Chain A
Amino acid sequence: MPMDDRSKLLRRYVIDAMRGGGRGHLGSSMSMIEILRVLYDSVLKYDPKNPESTDRDRFVLSKGHGCLALYAILADKGFLPISELESFCRPTSRLGGHPERGKVPGVEASTGALGHGLPIAVGLALAMRLQERNSRVFVLTGDGEINEGSNWEAGMAAAKHKLSNLTVMVDYNKLQSYGKTSEVLDLEPLVDKFKSFGFVTHEVDGHDVAALEAIFKKLPFSDSAPSAIICHTIKGKGFPFAEGNPEWHHKSGMTETDIQQMYDCL
């Protein structure tokens, strides 16, 4: 599916940050661009001028290594200046290699260690219920990330508490750091796993903007269960040399040639 100008713009912001920091999780960020784009364009309730407003929806990026994509959309939406992206990973920057709550406006939780986002999100969703607020909670996990058992502990709890205000999205790009998820620790049958844990679960092409909008419109999938969306994605989407290539999970020591090669793809 060809990328439109908006998807290219957000990817350009990611490259701007990588150019500044000389590093970054390119593959992991590019697979989730459209998911975040649709979330922030069409789904989430938020106010960049008041990022801590109590009635906002909460979005937790559990796969913290995908923070470049989050920084890109937060900058695009005015949570931080676009010019700040180039400070990525510099000593006094707010924008580290994993996102930090309290440093970056719009970041709900400090993540990076994997398997933390969903348990926190369950706590947030319970808090929304206790405080009788309508805010929804969304959490985006990686696929390799859900190797961690903590996700499944939290998944059981989400179903037990019938957290219909909670939606977990899996960025299922089928590659983790070492190689294919099917070979490192196979997640299949992933949809059935989430269903058996009590989530009403749907699948979607995680790069198809219209399909993502349509599936998000159906939320909550149930009034008495949490929702899960398995987003089929391509690691490094938009960059032919990086697509499906675990070498581009993370890159450091990037040269101007590397950076130009990425801009040229857009």
Chain B
Amino acid sequence: MRKTALDCVYKLAKVDERVVFVGSDLGPGVLDKMKTEFPQRFFMEGVSEQYIVGMAAGLAMEGFIPYVNTIATFLTRRCYEQVAVDLCIHDLPVRLIANGGGGVYAPLGPTHLAIEDIAIMRALPNMAVVAPCDADEMNRLMMSTLEWPHPIYIRLGKGGDKIVSEEKNGFELGKSILMRSGSDGMFVTTGVMTQLALETADILKKDGVNVGVVHMHTIKPFDAAGVISAIENVKAVVTVEEHIVNGGLGSALLETCSDLRPELLPKITRVGIPDKFATEYGSQNSLLKHWGITSDTLVGAMMKKLGG
């Protein structure tokens, strides 16, 4: 997913002179093709995220579209004031490409685990928050970013994630995608949790339970109409996110329903990372299990809401 995102920056740079790339201190060879072909628009600026975001803002003020890339925690926690003031108050078209959403960096511990990034980014006016589910969708997202006039936070998964998105569904920022319809229940998902929800829906189907999946690749702006349409006629709704349960996708759905359709609230339950920092290392999958984000727990959450 990351490789796809960066390849897209290069593709965009080829067709649009406004595109610049700004990295902090990424691995050797990153975007070498862009560095070679467009050295003036390739910046590797060092471990200095506060500066990098401000510098990207300055470039954007003069008409450029900077794509800024580093690890998610450094791009959110480290320079939150720069993101808020330099990007969001000025409402500039800077794209933050954030490596390692959720438990991707499991072996590296809690300093590298972006567990609250969606919550803090979505709290900022003007910021869009996007978490594609696979590389194909990342490609569609990236190629649609040139004309969005506001800042965008793009949350990356690990990479190599199973391709579940489909070309026919297209990609429109702020528009949910109903991946599978369901008559009994609905999983509301974002990022690579969409794959987990689809797998779980298959398991439930074998037991005769018909559960759909609506994929919210964009958590902000939140597609209230799309998600309400997907959940209003089912009996149970489970939100699934690789993010703390506070302030992320589940919260966005509860807020939306509270504002627009409070009668839907009782059938919604949330599955996500508990409100605490990780105490284990291992792998992304082992952390997900530790956090209770598995097919088993999704089945349990859904069946409990269905009264099963």
Contacts and interface: CB of A to CB of B under 8 A. Distances in A.
- Give the dominant DSSP class at A's interface: helix
Interface string A93-130: 00000001110000011101101101111111111101
Contacts of B54: 116, 118-120, 122-123, 150, 154
Contact of B51 (A100, A110, A154): A154
Nearest to B53: A119
Given A113-B81, A157-B45, A119 B61 contact: no
A128 B62 contact: yes
B213 to A, nearest CB: 41
B82 A116 contact: yes
B51 A153 contact: yes
A124 B58 contact: yes
B51 A150 contact: yes
B82 A119 contact: yes
B199 to A, nearest CB: 44
Nearest to A121: B58
A109 B91 CA distance: 11
Nearest to A101: B90
A149 B81 CA distance: 13
B40 A119 contact: no
A92 interface: no
B210 interface: no
Contacts of A115: 50
A156 interface: yes
B81 A109 contact: no
A131 interface: yes
A157 B41 contact: no
B59 A119 contact: no
A31 to B, nearest CB: 24
Interface string B35-64: 000001101011010111111111111111
B120 interface: no
7 contacts: A100-B89, A110-B85, A119-B57, A121-B58, A122-B54, A123-B59, A154-B51
Given A110-B90, A121-B58, A130-B41, 18 more contacts: A109-B61, A109-B90, A113-B85, A115-B50, A119-B50, A119-B52, A119-B57, A119-B82, A123-B56, A124-B59, A124-B62, A126-B43, A126-B58, A127-B63, A131-B63, A150-B51, A153-B50, A157-B55
